[in-house]
A and B are shown apart, each in its own frame.
Chain A
Amino acid sequence: RKEVEQDPGPFNVPEGATVAFNCTYSNSASQSFFWYRQDCRKEPKLLMSVYSSGNEDGRFTAQLNRASQYISLLIRDSKLSDSATYLCVVMKTSYDKVIFGPGTSLSVIP
């Protein structure tokens, strides 16, 4: 079983829709969580950190459920420019090995 798992999609949604992605991780000792965005043929870039209490950044909301070992990303009012692959990132604390999920592909269509 992979350490971090995501539904690869693709998710095809119309503009203005709300879409949610989940990510599960296997190591209960994981301490830090992030969502990265990767555009086609580009490098990953940080979208947002995920805090225990949940956090929001504009149209994006991230949540963490430690008991069930999953994190989620909610995108409201989808824009065409949101089309990308969204990567879930998990870090352990012992020596900070950084693990990426396989990514979820999102296409926002007009």
Chain B
Amino acid sequence: GAGVSQSPRYKVAKRGQDVALRCDPISGHVSLFWYQQALGQGPEFLTYFQNEAQLDKSGLPSDRFFAERPEGSVSTLKIQRTQQEDSAVYLCASSLQLPSGGNTIYFGEGSWLTVV
């Protein structure tokens, strides 16, 4: 497809379970972002990649969260030992070049995680 693709769209995890969320950015896009969005809130920055380099992971809420983009395209956000407060929509976004160069950031539809 032409857009940012995320999977799974919906995930219900038992507390303590590990989850992996996948993002396929638009082909050729250099920048890739992960955001966490709780109900009624704006997206909160988690981490940012430029190609395979993770330039900023300051938004990851704990060491249970880990993201990678080993070949500079597909990215995976992994959450270990999920807790109820991890329940949120996880949005992936990509842009062609550095966003401050005026390139639009395109979002995927999100992965809706519910921890029970």
Contact = CB atoms under 8 A, between A and B. Distances in A.
A43 interface: yes
Nearest to A93: B100
Contacts of A93: 100
Interface string B22-52: 0000000001010100000111110010100
Interface string A42-59: 111110010000000000
B99 interface: yes
Given A91-B99, A96-B31, A44 B107 contact: yes
A88 to B, nearest CB: 8
A40 to B, nearest CB: 11
Interface residues of A, number: 23
B99 A32 contact: yes
A42 B33 CA distance: 17
B107 to A, nearest CB: 4
B109 A42 contact: yes
A98 B33 contact: yes
Closest 4 CB pairs of A and B: A43-B107, A102-B42, A100-B42, A103-B42
Interface of A: 6, 31-32, 42-46, 49, 87, 89, 91-93, 95-103
24 contacts: A31-B100, A32-B100, A43-B108, A44-B43, A44-B91, A44-B107, A45-B107, A49-B102, A87-B42, A87-B43, A89-B105, A91-B100, A96-B98, A96-B100, A97-B45, A97-B48, A97-B58, A98-B45, A98-B48, A98-B93, A98-B105, A99-B45, A100-B43, A102-B41
